[in-house]
Amino acid sequence: MIKVVLADDHVLVRDGIKALLEDQKGITVIDEASNGIEALEVINQNKPDILIVDIRMPEMNGIEVVREMSKSFKDVKTLVLSMHDSEEYVVQAIQAGADGYLLKGASKEEFLKALNKVASGGKYFTGDVSAIIMKNFVNGTTTSVTPKQAPVETPFKLTKREKQILSLVLQLKNNKDIAEELEISKRTAEVHRFNLMKKLDVKNLLELSNKAKEFGLV
């Protein structure tokens, strides 16, 4: 039986993973955590086989958790499940000791393949991530960057339209106003706004404003 601990600050994500694994023989979710510190406490109490961890979490981020795991809980495997495919995140996760890195957009089949591979002692990196690893191996550059030299938080790659939407949202304009200014439908404005919030991983206007200032997005 593969004993799993889930660490993600979004309840819906944890519930979705649990629902997916309920029908899988030989796999059981024994506990979950909503932040990095809680994850380490849960692992210390339950001694799971594998930790599935998100990168962006309060208290302690996922890469810091993986780094601590590689020192204090060497027998517990770590699978990073993230929405971020940027080179900085991938390299730092691997340097921290992650056994696998999978994007949240992966299929059910790939997720289960990655989970079983990592739990059995192997390594699993999704296709896009493998390309980044190969690039760094060939160039021999980014992999030499230490976690202290490269911060976990990195600027997001926004499209021209997303930057326009962001600027208007920060001007406190509603979807109708945005649609009129950009000459698009209200529904399209709503979709762009939703995708922007999702890409930046924010839940409200205050978080959006703080992140935009932090990364100089506008």
Rounded to whole angstroms, the Cα distance separating 158 from 145 reads 25
| Chunked mean pLDDT (size 10), the chain, 218 residues | 95 93 92 94 95 90 92 93 80 88 89 94 77 54 39 62 88 88 88 86 80 76
Tens-place pLDDT, residues 61-86: 999 999 999 889 999 999 999 887 77
Tens-place pLDDT, residues 171-198: 888 888 899 989 888 888 888 888 888 8
SS3 track for the chain: CEEEEEECCCHHHHHHHHHHHHCCCCEEEEEEECCHHHHHHHHHHHCCCEEEECCCCCCCCHHHHHHHHHHHCCCCEEEEEECCCCHHHHHHHHHHCCCEEEECCCCHHHHHHHHHHHHCCCCEECHHHHHHHHHHHHHCCHHHCCCCCCCCCCCCCCCHHHHHHHHHHHCCCCHHHHHHHHCCCHHHHHHHHHHHHHHHCCCCHHHHHHHHHHHCCC
Domains of the chain, earliest start first: 2-144 (3.40.50.2300), 160-215 (1.10.10.10)
Rounded to whole angstroms, the Cα distance separating 87 from 79 reads 17
From edge to edge, which strands make up the β-sheet containing 27-33? 27-33, 2-7, 50-53, 77-82, 100-103, 124-125
pTM, entire model: 0.62
